[in-house]
Structure 1
């Protein structure tokens, strides 16, 4: 049997097929089908099965990552959404947080909510922070809300009532009433989506879930129908933002959990590659056709954050839409191979707009008229026009040169090569800024990390990025161009359950803490049963804790025997202080500690643990160095002859000095002068960066 992983990006859809017996993988990149991604995926699956001489009956499993939820939010193309709040709290999304992401900007733009004020309605009810009903729910006020929504054409409804995390009864009653009156409406409850304190973040998360819920459900339904028409399995598993896999049903019910689906899979792949190479501290660099995604792996584990922001401006906290879900820590910027270059005030600007798959870069010959990063890299000699995407596409060098000349070089008085280098350099600068945020600004020394570069364009830009940050090594994995799709093969089934209960860390509260964890574990078992996973589950208990009086929390692993409350509290306090010391650099032994959010993570063993990867075997028996071609290097003020290396012919132990270009079907690696590239025993490319650079 074979397992297929596929990741839909903004420009290409990446497909990986793994033979479960031999562990051999086959890769394919196909242009993403604009407007009909489900049919595009199905067509790509047809191609790869035909290439392998396989049939639908040979497919044992399908694993999927998608950016459909992300794109709907970023492009504001979700469903018309209504919001029901507690009377008096209609403006919570508009007010947001007092904290400004740029304190002295008098013209500051707040994140634009996903619904309009006229589509926000209030119901009469009130629950205290302890869950006590202060004002009973008035169902007549619910009826008025529904009538107003129906008159406005609302398609989906978010319900976020005050303190619903402590008592969800009113939210559930509102849902039942809505579905009784208007069963065609989609409903999302904050107590199901994000049962946590902080009304703005909880409301924002629930609205985002409602906003994309019909779109994701329609997409998954269309994909399942397309698969069924080809007799392919429809019970695929879908990647969540936290790096775990869920069923299509759960993804449709809680689509906010898959907002960072594709990028999360890429970080999983990078973590596995790091372990292959004996590296536990990794910075990840995934540059595709539309965006660049940057992440981190600390001590062998992808970093999981308690939430993140969508559409953040200039990497500043509080500048985007907050989503209160567990997610792999990532930073995403509009700087990919298809990012459009333009001029502004006499300077070159790259992104965030992308040419996408259609019309794509000029060199794709699909009608694109604006120069992109890919066009620049082609003009600079980094890409082979005859072997792009394993030879499936022939690139138009003359068209790329003409477009860069018309849009960039002529307006700025530059040569075409200088303009192309300018586009390349600006894209690098954008990514360097983002990488500094994910590393230096978050307490990571890039000099002590290794950069794992993947995506179609990542290996091409990685060496420059590593030099700028003084990262000593770059690893380019096997199948780097389809890295996120490979990451799906390494994913676990994972369920996170959490809720808010503010409790002082004291022996008398330990029984209540134990009861909370028991309930969360019961909730997790319900979701695991829907995944078909009941055996071999790994359980992890954590809490977000703080000193009493502080505004924010840190995540702490909780262990110990609750049967001995005093010992349990002592262990929890020591665990909290260890994390606090690491984050803030000091410990306050006298301060009281409290838990705020309680979290249970259930992880089912991944299929990747069934056996180790087979030893790397070269796919070609020819010479590794296949020739040479000129590439543009600013250090040499022009073009320099660089070795052209066939990655498939390299054997472990092969080492070549730069300048060189390593070509493979799905990506290209540029090795700069002074650097060297070798193939590791695992089959990954390891680029050693010149310390003098």
Structure 2
């Protein structure tokens, strides 16, 4: 196996792992939201230090086969409502805006609000009226729109949008219009649902600026190092592709999807039938579930409950994480959804942050060691944490800081537990899998509040989402709604999409025979779907003849994934040996000395009981009283409440 670099960019931290000659190296760096390419290359520098013992980015990039990148920036932008203001162009007389708003009033008002303009479709064919027709662009920009989405409601939406596009570029040359980018929904997605198509275009337009600026900057900088292959973007459909062929919306929740790919592999390794996962980052907690070793994916995904035209893995991303702002509202503790991110970060980072976060709470509880946190690369200031909690929590509630600590911990754990219970299917065989930099920390407390008694923490927990994208396939997917004579449309569309796939895979470096092509038809009738794979015969099945709509879906994929059918064992051996102790705040009783078990010194079979602390370079886990742990054959950790 050659060298692979996987990068997962989060709102607070960016995770990097390197797989080289069956060796695994990991590191983290603070996310730099003002310039994502900075943390990208900071991570590469630190990764080269881990791999070679000295910083040598040039060597690292000369040797690497593939760099795969995933991000939660899109998820965080939606959660925190940070991004451009959109203008929406629809056809005259359409009630599409009101229907879109009904699906999610708050999100629609944030993205578009009253920045809506109408166009008479009959006037689009009159070039003489082009200036008047396209004056809607000026009207929208004058009321604050800095990106424009065009979505016409018609059976011929693609034709009308193409006409408007020609008129727009005739009357607003690109060197003028470039400051206000336009997106035409029919070019982005082919869908029989006008609402899905419009929402897809609006969310994509919202996410596009940040993704475009960073990804192209990063790719250009990589070219300076003459890397062998282009930067690959891991998408929310589980595959990867180069920057130029990646739609911004498909980066939404791509980081969490990487985590779910890892959970799926993990569930197979331990033959776990029902795994509920929580990936606790700085800004969000990504909640997912793998049942019978399968990741659930909706053909039409939901973004905050809003339907879009593309498929999405079923993941919830509530705004609760280690850097979520803790506050008091109406006399009650509120956790998130706003986050301090990496800049200014939690108060204890000493970067100007004044808000209280769970990182500050865990520092004052004694769980975090200021001298070793973040691999010893980030000093923590407990006095700043105490001041932030006193001002924002203790004083408003009329309690002491010490009294506030456990209330804050309980509120944080309860919010995550509530999200898990709402999202997940919890049964007798359900186990919780905790990962992310902050996932293991409160895993026992969250599990107890969910009624779960088994928790798994992977040895790669701190960078698990980055690790999870390591063996993704490279490919693309396409979809076309068949119109007119469906058989003729199918034959033409199939030939066109196969040719398109061939071009795209050639651009990725693969020719015919190097990749797999799969095609299927999806028929929709009365809200139900019927799926039929195309195996050689390019024909509409009889059972689809009277369907309301038939869509051809084609995928091309270079398969890189490998499967291992063996199962890892979990059994006790010699007791684990603590390497040191740590004083934890215990409330009225003062402090409590707990043993600290360092992951790097733990052997398979090693076991112990709580209360205790398990720690590695980038994560800390509190083993609560009544829980015990055992190190598995593969070096992962299983926690159980009560002896098992």
Structure 1 gaps of 5+ residues are: 102-107, 126-134, 574-591, 617-621
Q: 2: distance between equivalents of 1:169 and 1:364? A: 54
1:169 to 151, 159, 170: 159
1:36 is aligned to: 35
1:581 is aligned to: none
Asked whether the 8 Å contact 2:124–2:164 carries over to 1, the reply is: no
SS at match of 1:204: helix
2:267 is aligned to: 274
Residue 628 (str. 1) matches residue 581 (str. 2): yes
Residue 84 (str. 1) matches residue 65 (str. 2): no
1:13 is aligned to: 14
Q: CA deviation at 1:8?
A: 1.6
Residue 659 (str. 1) matches residue 576 (str. 2): no
Residue 4 (str. 1) matches residue 5 (str. 2): yes
SS at match of 2:187: helix
SS at match of 1:683: coil
Asked whether the 8 Å contact 1:500–1:596 carries over to 2, the reply is: yes
Equivalence map 1:405-424=2 (5 Å): 405-424=390-409
Residue 178 (str. 1) matches residue 171 (str. 2): no
1:537 to 508, 515, 525: 515
Asked whether the 8 Å contact 1:246–1:493 carries over to 2, the reply is: yes
Q: Deviations over 1:569-621 (max 9, x none)?
A: 67x99xxxxxxxxxxxxxxxxxx976654433443212x539999x99xxxxx
Q: 2: distance between equivalents of 1:676 and 1:416? A: 30
SS at match of 2:630: strand
1:158 to 149, 155, 180: 149
**Residues 527 and 228 (structure 1), Cα distance of their counterparts in 2 relative to 1, 3 Å cut:** closer
2:137 is aligned to: 149
Q: CA deviation at 1:216?
A: 2.4
Asked whether the 8 Å contact 1:466–1:689 carries over to 2, the reply is: no
Q: 1: distance between equivalents of 2:183 and 2:488? A: 32
Equivalence map 1:257-656=2 (5 Å): 257-310=250-303, 312=304, 317=305, 321-439=306-424, 444-501=425-482, 520-534=497-511, 535-542=513-520, 548-549=525-526, 552-554=527-529, 556=531, 558=533, 597-606=551-560, 608-609=561-562, 624-631=577-584, 640-656=592-608
**Residues 446 and 632 (structure 1), Cα distance of their counterparts in 2 relative to 1, 3 Å cut:** farther
Equivalence map 1:50-199=2 (5 Å): 50-53=49-52, 54=56, 55=59, 56-79=61-84, 81-89=86-94, 92-96=96-100, 109=106, 111-112=108-109, 114-125=111-122, 137-140=125-128, 143-150=131-138, 152=141, 156-163=147-154, 168-181=158-171, 182-184=173-175, 185=178, 186-199=181-194
Q: 1: distance between equivalents of 2:495 and 2:225? A: 43
Asked whether the 8 Å contact 1:641–1:659 carries over to 2, the reply is: no
Structure 2 gaps of 5+ residues are: 570-574
Q: Deviations over 1:15-70 (max 9, x none)?
A: 11111xx2211111111113111122112212321343342322332111123434
Q: 2: distance between equivalents of 1:114 and 1:15? A: 33
What is the alpha-carbon root mean square deviation over aligned residues? 3.5
SS at match of 2:174: coil
Asked whether the 8 Å contact 1:502–1:594 carries over to 2, the reply is: no
**Residues 633 and 323 (structure 1), Cα distance of their counterparts in 2 relative to 1, 3 Å cut:** farther
Q: 2: distance between equivalents of 1:671 and 1:559? A: 52
Q: 2: distance between equivalents of 1:248 and 1:9? A: 18
1:679 is aligned to: 631
Q: CA deviation at 1:309?
A: 4.0
SS at match of 2:562: helix
**Residues 569 and 24 (structure 1), Cα distance of their counterparts in 2 relative to 1, 3 Å cut:** farther
Q: 1: distance between equivalents of 2:101 and 2:296? A: 26
Residue 49 (str. 1) matches residue 48 (str. 2): yes
Q: Deviations over 1:135-189 (max 9, x none)?
A: 974445554344442573765443322245x663333343344344422434433
Q: Deviations over 1:396-448 (max 9, x none)?
A: 23332333233322332434333111111111121112112221xxxx33433
**Residues 118 and 412 (structure 1), Cα distance of their counterparts in 2 relative to 1, 3 Å cut:** closer
Q: 2: distance between equivalents of 1:208 and 1:190? A: 11
Q: 1: distance between equivalents of 2:51 and 2:397? A: 50
**Residues 190 and 377 (structure 1), Cα distance of their counterparts in 2 relative to 1, 3 Å cut:** same
SS at match of 1:493: strand
Q: 1: distance between equivalents of 2:229 and 2:132? A: 40
Q: CA deviation at 1:122?
A: 1.5
Asked whether the 8 Å contact 1:84–1:121 carries over to 2, the reply is: yes
TM superposition score normalised by structure 1: 0.80
Asked whether the 8 Å contact 1:123–1:138 carries over to 2, the reply is: no
1:576 is aligned to: none
Asked whether the 8 Å contact 1:7–1:262 carries over to 2, the reply is: yes
1:128 is aligned to: none
Q: CA deviation at 1:449?
A: 2.7
**Residues 169 and 24 (structure 1), Cα distance of their counterparts in 2 relative to 1, 3 Å cut:** same
Deviates more, 1:425-434 or 1:594-603: 594-603
